[in-house]
Chains A and B, each alone.
Chain A
Amino acid sequence: MRRKTWICAILAVFLCASGAVAGMLDTVKQRGVVVAGVSGKVPGFSVPDDKGVWRGLDVDFCRALAAAIFNDAEKVKFVPVTTKERFTALQTGEIDVLSRNTTWTFERDVQQGLDFAGILFFDGQGFMVNKKLGVNSAKQLDGASICIQTGTTTEKNVSDYFAANNMKFKPVVFESADESTVIYDSGRCDVYTTDTSGLAARRVTLSKPEDHIILPEVISKEPLGPAVRQGDNQWADIVRWTLFALINAEELGVTSKNVDEMLKSNNPEIKQLLGVEGNYGEQFGLTKDWAYRIVKQVGNYGEIFDRNVGPNTALKLNRGQNALWTRGGLIYAPPIR
C-alpha cells in the first residue's frame, strides 16, 4: 500500500515536471512551427536538394499542414527520423506528425498508439532486377541474392513470398537505402526490394536506370500516410482534413493557379472548400480560408504528385492506383460539408 503511494508520488512529480499537456494545436501555434518527422533519404518523398531545401510528397503534405495553420507553408521543421526511432519520436512528442512513408497497419493503429490520418499514397512491396537477367516475373527468382533495406516488415514480406512459392533466396540487409542502392548497383545482388515507389525513386539513382525493370508482382499492401499520436482528436482531424482538402481540391479542379478565380465560383462544394460559404475551418481551431491557403501555397493533390513523383520527374511514376476515384484510382476523400 505504502509502496503504491510512493510510486504515485514519484510519478506525479515527473508528470508535473513535464507540465500540463495542452492540445496539440495550441502547442504548435505557440511554437509557431510544425515539427514533422520525415525519412530524409527517399527521393520523391522527402529529400533535401543541393541547396538544402526539402522536396517530396511527404514534405509537401507537411507544408500544406503548415499553410492551413499558419498561412505560411514554410513554417515546418523537418526532422529526419530512422526506421527504428520514428514511433518513439512520435510517442514522446518529439515530432507533431510523422510523414515518413509509413504503412498503415492494424498493429500500429491499435497497439502502438498511432493514429493514421488517411492514405497519401497507395504502395506495395515489389522487386527490381537487371534486364540482363532475362527475368519477367518474381516467380523466376529462385536462388536469387536480394538486397533489402531494413524495415519493419520488408524482410518478412520477402521471406513469406518466397516460402509461399517454394523458392529460396539470400538476403543482404542494409541499414540505409543509400548503401543498399549503391551495393545493388555494383551487382552484389540480383534483386532489390522495397516499396514500388521506393524502387522507382531508387532506380533513378542507379548508374544505368534504363537497364533495370520493376517486376509486375506486388507482394504486399502498403498504404502510406501521415500519422499522429493517439488521444488528440482535434489535431488528428486537422491532419486528416488537410489531406482530404488536397484531394477534394483536385477533384473539384481547384489548383494553385486558378484558386483565386475559383473563389468566385458558383459551385457550392468549391465555396465550402475555400471558405466562401460556411465556417468549416473555425470548427477545428483554424480560420475559414484554411483550405484556400493550402491550395494557394502548396497546390492540390495532383499538383503535389506531379511535382514530386509524376511522369515529368526523375521517378516517372504514373498515377495508377493513386489516381482519383473518378479516374479509376483509389484516391477518394469525404466531402467538406
Chain B
Amino acid sequence: MSKRFPNPRLGPADEPRPSLPVRAVNNPRVRAVCIQVAVFAVLVFALAAAVFNTAHNLRKAGIASGFEFLGHVSGFDIGQSLIEYSRSSTYARVFVVGLLNTLLVSTVSIFFSTLIGFFLGILRLSPNWLLNRMALVYVEVVRNVPLLLQVFFWYIAILSPLPGPRQAIDFFGAVFLCNRGLIIPRPVLDEGSRWVILAVVVAVVGVVGLKIWGDRRQRLTGRRAPVLLLSLLLVAGLPMIAMVATGYPVRWELPNLKGFNFLGGITLQPEFTALVLALTLYTAGFIAENVRAGIQAVPTGQIEAARSLGFRPGKILRLVVIPQAMRVIIPPLTSQHLTLVKNSSLAVVIGYPDLMAVFAGTALNQTGQAVEIIAITMLVYLVISLVISAVMNVYDRKMAIRER
C-alpha cells in the first residue's frame, strides 16, 4: 500500500561501485551487514536471557508453565455469556466467553459510533450556527477527557437514577427497566420454527437481490423500481406467512420478578450499556472530525456541479459528497474502529465480563500463569486488529478511484 522511498544513503544494490579503493569501514554494504548482525545478536541475547530468567523464576515459584491449564475446570461463574457456560466449564471456555463478550460490545459500539460520528460530522458543517456550535462543543469536550473517566461517568449516570428490581419501570408487563438492566422477552423456538428462520433468511436474500436488480434496471432504463416498498413487504410478509403456516412456533418468554431478580427474558446489563455508551460517544467525537475533514476534502466544484444538475441538498450529500469523501474517511475510520476494539478492554474497570476481565483477570488470578495468559490475550487483540484492517483495506480498494 505504502510507497517506500529508498534510503538516500544506500544506493540500489546493483549500482556500479566506483573503482576507488574503499575501506571496509566506509563500505555501506559491509557496514549494513555489521549493524544488522549486531542488532540481531543483542536482541537474541536479550530474548534468551528473558526466557531463561522467566523459566528460572517460574520454576522457583512453582508455577507450572504451558497451556494445560486451558483444559482445567474454571470453577467460577460469569455474569454474561453468549454461549453455554457454567462453573464446571474449562478455562478454554472462559476464554471463548470473554472473547465473544469483547466482540459483542465492540461490534455494537462500532456500529453506533460510526452512525453518530457521521451525523455529528455533518452537523459540524451545517449552516445552522447553533447546531454546528453544539456539535463543536460536544466534539471538543468528548475528545479531551480520558475515556476511563467517561466509562465511570456513564456507569454511575446510568445506575443512579434507575430503581431496584422490585420497583422496576414496567412497559406493558413485558419489558422492564431497573438497575439490573433492561430485561426484554426472549423468543423460545419450538418445533417448526426452523421454517420461520428460513423465511427470514429468504426475505433478506430477496431484498439484496431486489436492490441489485433495481439498480441495474435504473442504469439500463432510467426507471426506478419501488425497491423500498417491495423490500418492506418481503421482510414483513414472508416470515409472517411462515408463522401462520406453521402455527406460531415462536413463543415469547416474559421476564418475571422472582426473589431478587427477574427470571427469564434477556437481560441487557447496565455494565454493557454503560460501556457501549462511553465507547460510542467517545469514538463518535473522533469519527465526526474524520468525517468533517473528509467532506471538506471534496472539491467545491463537485458540489456546484451537482447543484447545477438540479440535485436537492440531501441528494448532493448522499450521491456526490459522501461517496467521494469516503475515500478520505476510510483509513482514519479504520484506525478509530481498531482503537475502539482495544479500548473495549476498559470493561475491566466496570465489571463487564470481557476478555480482559474474565481471562486476563479472574483466570490469571486463579492460575497464576501470567505469561501464557497475557500472551494469549495480546495475540487475540492483535488478530482482531489485523482482521479489521484487512476487511477495511478490501473496502478501501473497492472505493478507490479507478484510474482510467
Q: Which of A7, A163, A175, A186 contacts B159 (CB 8 A)?
A: A186
For residue B357, which residue of chain A has the nearest CB?
A173
Chain A: minimal CB distance from B397 (Å): 41
Q: Is the CB of A171 within 8 A of B159?
A: no
Q: Is the CB of B365 within 8 A of A150?
A: yes
Which of chain A's residues have a CB closer than 8 A to the CB of B71? Answer: none
Produce 1/0 per residue, A145-178, CB < 8 A to B.
1010011110110111011000001111111100
Residue B65, interface by CB 8 Å: no
For residue B49, which residue of chain A has the nearest CB?
A14
Whole-angstrom CA separation of A171 from B155 in the bound complex: 17
Q: Is the CB of A173 within 8 A of B368?
A: no
Q: Which of A10, A156, A176, A183 contacts B48 (CB 8 A)?
A: A10
Q: Is the CB of B261 within 8 A of A187?
A: no
Please tell me the size bucket of the interface on A: 35 or more
Q: Is the CB of A170 within 8 A of B61?
A: no
> Which of A29-37, A110-118, A253-261 makes up part of the contact surface?
A110-118
> Which of A87-95, A209-217, A242-250, A262-270 makes up part of the contact surface?
A87-95
Which of chain B's residues have a CB closer than 8 A to the CB of A171? Answer: 76-79
Residue A84, interface by CB 8 Å: yes
Also in contact, A10 and B79, with CB within 8 A (given A179-B351, A186-B159): no
Residue of A111, A169, A173 with most partner-chain B CB within 10 A: A173
Also in contact, A141 and B159, with CB within 8 A (given A112-B63, A163-B87, A171-B78): no
Whole-angstrom CA separation of A143 from B77 in the bound complex: 13
Q: Is the CB of A173 within 8 A of B62?
A: no
Q: Which of B56, B60, B263, B364 contacts A143 (CB 8 A)?
A: B263
Whole-angstrom CA separation of A175 from B364 in the bound complex: 12
Which of chain B's residues have a CB closer than 8 A to the CB of A187? Answer: 159, 164, 179
Residue B361, interface by CB 8 Å: yes
Which of chain A's residues have a CB closer than 8 A to the CB of B76? Answer: 155-156, 158-159, 171
Whole-angstrom CA separation of A143 from B53 in the bound complex: 47
Q: Which of A112, A163, A169, A188 contacts B270 (CB 8 A)?
A: A188
Also in contact, A145 and B366, with CB within 8 A (given A159-B75, A179-B350): no
Residue A277, interface by CB 8 Å: no
Also in contact, A143 and B179, with CB within 8 A (given A150-B365, A152-B366, A156-B75): no
Which of chain B's residues have a CB closer than 8 A to the CB of A144? Answer: 259-261
Chain B: minimal CB distance from A48 (Å): 21
Q: Is the CB of B351 within 8 A of A11?
A: no
Residue B271, interface by CB 8 Å: yes
Whole-angstrom CA separation of A153 from B362 in the bound complex: 9
Residue A136, interface by CB 8 Å: no
Q: Is the CB of A111 within 8 A of B180?
A: no
Q: Is the CB of A10 within 8 A of B52?
A: yes
For residue B162, which residue of chain A has the nearest CB?
A187
Q: Is the CB of B53 within 8 A of A155?
A: no
Also in contact, A173 and B63, with CB within 8 A (given A83-B365, A143-B261, A159-B76): no
Q: Which of B79, B260, B263 contacts A133 (CB 8 A)?
A: B260
Chain B: minimal CB distance from A161 (Å): 11
Also in contact, A150 and B77, with CB within 8 A (given A188-B180, A188-B270): no
Which of chain B's residues have a CB closer than 8 A to the CB of A84? Answer: 364-365, 370
Residue B339, interface by CB 8 Å: no
Q: Which of B53, B62, B258 contacts A110 (CB 8 A)?
A: B62
Q: Which of B63, B179, B365 contacts A188 (CB 8 A)?
A: B179
Q: Is the CB of A183 within 8 A of B62?
A: no
For residue A144, which residue of chain B has the nearest CB?
B260
Which of chain A's residues have a CB closer than 8 A to the CB of B87? Answer: 159-160, 163
Residue A237, interface by CB 8 Å: no
Residue B156, interface by CB 8 Å: yes
Q: Is the CB of B62 within 8 A of A111?
A: yes
Q: Which of A112, A113, A150, A190 contacts B260 (CB 8 A)?
A: A190
Chain A: minimal CB distance from B318 (Å): 43
Within 8 A of B (CB), among A59-103: 83-84, 87-88, 91-92
Q: Is the CB of A186 within 8 A of B260?
A: no
Which of chain B's residues have a CB closer than 8 A to the CB of A182? Answer: 156
Q: Is the CB of A11 within 8 A of B263?
A: no
Produce 1/0 per residue, B138-165, CB < 8 A to A.
0000000000000000011001100010
Chain A: minimal CB distance from B51 (Å): 10
Q: Is the CB of B271 within 8 A of A151?
A: no
Which of chain A's residues have a CB closer than 8 A to the CB of B349? Answer: 174-176, 179
Which of chain A's residues have a CB closer than 8 A to the CB of B78? Answer: 171
Within 8 A of A (CB), among B307-353: 348-351, 353
Q: Which of B52, B180, B258, B358 contacts A11 (CB 8 A)?
A: B52
A interface vs B, CB < 8 Å?
A: 7, 10-11, 14, 83-84, 87-88, 91-92, 110-113, 133, 141-145, 147, 150-153, 155-156, 158-160, 162-163, 169-176, 179-180, 182-183, 186-188, 190
Can you name 20 A-B residue pairings with CB atoms under 8 Å? A14-B53, A84-B364, A91-B57, A111-B62, A113-B62, A144-B259, A144-B261, A156-B76, A159-B87, A162-B77, A170-B261, A171-B76, A171-B79, A173-B358, A175-B357, A179-B349, A180-B351, A183-B350, A186-B159, A188-B180
Which 6 A/B pairs are nearest by Cβ-Cβ distance?
A111-B62, A155-B76, A143-B259, A159-B87, A113-B61, A144-B260
